[in-house]
Amino acid sequence: MMIEMESTAPPVGVPARYVTWTPAILGALVATALSSILVAFGATVGLGISSTAPTWRDASAALWLLSGLYLIIQAALSFGVGGYIAGRTSVGLAASDPAEVEHRDGLHGLAAWAIAVVLGVALAALLGSATLSRPNVNAVSSRTSAAEPLLSYELDRLFRPARRATANVDLSQDRAEAGRMLLTSSSHSGMSSEDRVYLTQLVSATTGLAATEAERRVDTVVASSQAAIAKSRRSSVILAFSVASALLLGAVIAWAAAGIGGRHRDGAPLPSWMRSHEHGVEYRRGMS
């Protein structure tokens, strides 16, 4: 009895690998580079949702929304270019179903998108670790609380002395303790009355203010801290939503752009703005 074995060899003209990584990596590198340039440009012109400087306190909701919209647009442009390059440079499937070709080109664009996202996260992690590894940053962070970057201005107001301060007075421990208490002011229950009384006594003893003046200052700073924390939360929500939307939209655009690049690779007519360069080359050749 003879047993027929089905051949597993790929058809003639069809590459052995369904996805080739060279076009995907090339598209991912282009997308990452273009995204880095656009993000740097947006930060330069002031389209930044978050910043190391406290300028976000004066930012309006319109600026936050505009910054988030710019983040989405730059991601769409970057992933679109990277996906197009991945589809255009991939090897086509000879004598295959057009839907299968479109699907394979889209996978190349999606692979370029995934690699670009991983590269972006790795670059952000490297930059963050490099910033935290600086000696002066480590020295400062060991003496401050988590509230210091967010509520540094409120803490300055809280411990502003009634008269000129004595030289070489270390308030880092008092500021750290007060910062932790101010962070609780944005909770559902708010700052407890015990913490408020203790903070008033701390401010009065540190600054030399009378008890009534110290109490008014604490009330003012607590209200200001609540507003600052609320603004920071809103900006964080907008930033997270913008990043998630940009990444999801980037995956769709990378898939579609890779399909367009694959059709142009297989002989589909190019748009007029892409054919102008070829016409110029042919014209120069004819003149020579």
Mean pLDDT along residues 249-277: 83
Hey, where are the domains in the chain?
21-137+236-267, 145-160+171-229
Question: Does residue 278 carry a pLDDT above 60?
Answer: no
Mean pLDDT along residues 34-52: 75
Per-residue model confidence (pLDDT) at position 236: 80
Per-residue model confidence (pLDDT) at position 168: 64
Mean pLDDT along residues 251-276: 84
Q: What is the mean pLDDT of the chain?
A: 78
pLDDT tier for residue 4 given thresholds of 50, 70 and 90: very low
Per-residue model confidence (pLDDT) at position 164: 67
> Token match 């607590």: residue?
222
Summarised one tens digit per residue, pLDDT across range 101-150 is: 888 899 999 999 999 999 988 888 887 776 555 554 444 444 556 677 78
Question: Does residue 239 carry a pLDDT above 90?
Answer: no
Per-residue model confidence (pLDDT) at position 5: 38
pLDDT tier for residue 62 given thresholds of 50, 70 and 90: confident
Per-residue model confidence (pLDDT) at position 77: 94
Extract the tokens encoding 31: 């997308």
Extract the tokens encoding 262: 């694959």
